[in-house]
Structure 1
């Protein structure tokens, strides 16, 4: 009844075990303890946040006042400091780097109470455009080598405030998992002269059983080696559709697919907590140390969006082995999500 599956991108292993199978209704959801407290992100509370870095506003409004659709501010409780330099310090066996980096908050909407489950396609379009603008801007800072936009939705996702918001963190180094994935993709390209991400998309289109929803240029599917029940990946069919340079029509198409996927996921898991992670190409750096890694990156690497429901806590086995046990095979999860009520 159980078997191992291996992810071709990361090399990570998961155990698919139907003996531990659960239905979506078995996963309980509890709301935020403080969700009825006035949000610091609503209209009129702009003074409660740091000064905005960027905003999509009405023509007549001015910074740090009402009249915005989306607003970007430094995280008030930032984990990283853009004013620092990535100075390396060694303590005996141990290496450290000063906390250089960026930590920004995108306030998705002035509406509250609200949820990403309630967003319209135009609202998601503006959010995607804002993420692209901020990534492009941060990418011009040569100190920063990795930029990660992410959304924590719900109390078990790591979110500490109920008002819909997205975060961006930028680091002065590539995380090991990202570098490993890039190297695996580059090795695949060297052996096959094809993109592993594009081949994964084509494989899912051929197999079909793990697809949740698809459009002309994008697809949402439950990955073959899903580490969590009802996990979903969204990726372009062709990596030529670069996230930062999507035209208006394709960005709207992506927003529509993302909205449909989130709607189906919300109905399937009763709006439980989940994370959205935007896994994008890192900004290209031309220094000698990184040349081999970044050379031909547009040919071998790309981007995807990961939606991970937080339905179960990790146990000792997962922590000790880094191998996850998934009680819902992705083929069954995708079938359930296809049949659940969406917006279409």
Structure 2
């Protein structure tokens, strides 16, 4: 019989459709390929992009020329723009704001042919250091209320430039889904004086059935109420609400975990499209009339990464109810990934 499972962090239900379970090979499908005549993100094409705003250059080369390992540029066609004053007004029963924010591209490495799953832990750690540096800089702007770092991989995940890259978008309000998650964690702490995510990590380590990787620093696991097949969460075992507070050593441990996880997904599911999202605390800017707003964040929130292979599509039932049907129990997904050989598709 199928099960409805409740996710206390997301405050939603997932339907684990037992009897319709699908093994990894049943998700395999030909990947779409995206070709570009001249990739602007490639090594030696630096003048084809807007000027860089951050770069890791191991040999100390000058800006906007070869010699970089990771490079961050403004998006040439940004969803939101930094310039201007933030304005908010009513429109009848609606509200509207002008499009103030930031939209940046993190070019993850120079080689057009290498994917993120090809990178080792130290190389992925440099990408996370770029996230950290840009988030620290952007949160100084008090107009920006949330910083959203994410990666889409593959045409099916809405990628329009095949060179491996991720993105960072800053928005002038806390998105409703994030606000709900933050409020859930705060309420849990008020009742139990414990971090909800710390408790979830503790239970997953005890039960083990949904754990993919546990190195004592970073836990990779399939959530109990996974909305999607092979959905994963990647979280530090040491409590921390703020991704930007991570040390270089901690980011190296995260890079190792992400490198290993992406290789396992590629091996088990034959290189599927995927997305990952960094969930972290918002900038703790003072709010007018609300001096204690988010003041409990260091105690009740815990940053993590959500990683979802793009294996199924949302249909009418999911759109209409908010329930997701997951044909692969997370316990089975975790077992497949634990047993996958990370070196299989190198």
TM-score (norm 1): 0.96
Aligned to 2:138: 138
The separation in 1 between residues aligned to 2:17 and 2:316, in whole angstroms, is 17
TM-superposed deviation, 1:234: 0.4
Q: What are the superposed Cα offsets for residues 183-212 of structure 1, whole Å, 9 maximum, x if unpaired?
A: 111111011110001011101011110000
* Structure 2 unaligned spans of 5+: none
Say if 2:287 is the partner of 1:287: yes
TM-superposed deviation, 1:292: 4.4
The separation in 1 between residues aligned to 2:238 and 2:59, in whole angstroms, is 36
The structure 1 segments of at least 4 consecutive aligned residues displaced by more than 6 Å after TM superposition are none
Say if 2:106 is the partner of 1:109: no
TM-superposed deviation, 1:291: 4.1
The separation in 2 between residues aligned to 1:236 and 1:257, in whole angstroms, is 10
- Kept in 2, the 8 Å contact 1:120–1:259? The answer is yes
The separation in 2 between residues aligned to 1:227 and 1:292, in whole angstroms, is 34
TM-score (norm 2): 0.95
Distance 1:218 1:97, change over 3 A: same
TM-superposed deviation, 1:32: 4.2
Aligned to 1:166: 166
The separation in 2 between residues aligned to 1:289 and 1:326, in whole angstroms, is 44
Aligned to 2:261: 261
- Kept in 1, the 8 Å contact 2:153–2:274? The answer is yes
Q: What are the superposed Cα offsets for residues 14-65 of structure 1, whole Å, 9 maximum, x if unpaired?
A: 1000232212112234444433633210112111111111111144421111
- Kept in 1, the 8 Å contact 2:278–2:305? The answer is yes
Aligned to 2:200: 200
TM-superposed deviation, 1:243: 2.4
SS at match of 2:39: coil
Q: What are the superposed Cα offsets for residues 229-249 of structure 1, whole Å, 9 maximum, x if unpaired?
A: 001100011214852222232
TM-superposed deviation, 1:322: 1.2
The separation in 1 between residues aligned to 2:258 and 2:273, in whole angstroms, is 16
TM-superposed deviation, 1:86: 2.2
Distance 1:118 1:97, change over 3 A: same
- Kept in 1, the 8 Å contact 2:222–2:334? The answer is yes
- Kept in 2, the 8 Å contact 1:58–1:67? The answer is yes
TM-superposed deviation, 1:223: 0.4
- RMSD in angstroms over aligned alpha carbons? 1.6
Say if 2:238 is the partner of 1:226: no
- Kept in 2, the 8 Å contact 1:29–1:273? The answer is no
- Kept in 2, the 8 Å contact 1:285–1:291? The answer is no
- Number of corresponding residues: 344
- Kept in 2, the 8 Å contact 1:260–1:343? The answer is no
Distance 1:60 1:221, change over 3 A: closer
* Structure 1 unaligned spans of 5+: none
The separation in 2 between residues aligned to 1:21 and 1:284, in whole angstroms, is 43
Aligned to 2:94: 94
Q: What are the superposed Cα offsets for residues 167-190 of structure 1, whole Å, 9 maximum, x if unpaired?
A: 000100001111111111111101
- Kept in 1, the 8 Å contact 2:241–2:298? The answer is no
- Kept in 2, the 8 Å contact 1:183–1:293? The answer is no
SS at match of 1:335: helix
- Kept in 1, the 8 Å contact 2:182–2:301? The answer is yes
